[in-house]
Chain A
Amino acid sequence: MAIQLTHFSAALVFALVASIVFGITHRDTARDMFRYGLYCFVMFVGGVIVAGWAMWLVRR
């Protein structure tokens, strides 16, 4: 069994998992863990979108 993910969906999966682990391991309270995990997720996905647009501009 093999699965095919697009580049963007692979980036979303990566961002989700990394954010969960970063949130749990880098903060002490449950509330802080959730907030930091959300922050990491937004930064990962935002970084992907910004990098995508930057590459689009370079390609033009």
Chain B
Amino acid sequence: MANSTSARINPNPAAKSAPASSMLAVLAPAVGWFIPGAGHLIQRRWIRGLLLLVSISSLFVLGLLMQGHIYKANGGDILDILGFVGDLGAGGLYIATLAMNAGQGAIAFAIADYGTKFMIVAGLLNFIAVADAYHIAIGKKQ
């Protein structure tokens, strides 16, 4: 009896959850790109999300503190464009850095070069985290 009542109220629960899942499949990567780890956090993967947030943000900020250089879209040189693609992966961190006009110095010594690489790798690692958030959203991964 109870089953027939619930079937009348919600005849096909999967049909209702499908749009929510497809919305999450768009939202999770977008939010995860803007704030590293947020794509996992909005899907209630708290520990994974926090670890990603702390790890990727730390790497990016360390790179900035090491006086690393941040690339812009109009680099011209192919290596500058690749650097820009890497930096862009950090999402909100990259936008905030540009807004603060930070990371504009020349790469004059080895530590600054390491810092530049740190920021590029932080962006690339965030791309991987974004793909993972998408896989969780579509149910390919738990």
Contact = CB atoms under 8 A, between A and B. Distances in A.
B24 interface: no
A14 B59 CA distance: 7
Interface residues of A, number: 19
Given A5-B114, A14-B59, A21 B128 contact: yes
A18 B132 contact: no
Contacts of B122: 17
B58 A17 contact: yes
Interface size class of B (residues with CB under 8 A): 20 to 34
A28 B141 contact: yes
Q: Is the interface of B mostly helix, strand, loop or mixed?
A: helix
Interface string B23-58: 000000000000000000000000010011001101
Contacts of B128: 21-22, 25
B59 A13 contact: yes
A3 interface: yes
Interface of A: 1-5, 7, 10, 13-14, 16-18, 20-22, 24-25, 28-29
